[in-house]
Amino acid sequence: MHTRMLFLSLRFVMQIMGHTVFKTEQMEERDAVADYLQQVVDRLRSGEQLTLHDGENDVTLDVPDRVEFEVQVEEESSGEMSLEFELEWNGAHEDTTDTLEIS
């Protein structure tokens, strides 16, 4: 029986014009990751600014009502899996008819 390890890491990356202005990555328990993501969800739903802190740096975002949303799953040759959620905006976006379903 082949078992793959799923490593949970929390990574926030903020890029402006292709330049990373904020990045943090750390190993966390699944529940802690869910707590971080819930804070992001709460800010997105309320329309409030989202501020990320890592102890040294911080960045505050005003996320617009409409963003490009990307979900990516990767499997490395080592068997490590990653799940990435990305929000992107700059005023111009490409509409798609694909609908994401999570179950």
Give pLDDT tens digits for 12-67: 555 555 677 788 888 889 998 899 999 999 999 999 999 988 888 888 889 999 99
Question: In whole angstroms, what is the distance from residue 84 CA to residue 23 CA?
Answer: 14
Query: Which one, of 10, 13, 11, 9, lies nearest residue 61 by Cα?
Result: 13
Give burial (CB, 10 Å; 0-12/13-18/19+) of 103.
exposed
State the pLDDT confidence band at 2, using cuts at 50, 70 and 90.
Answer: very low
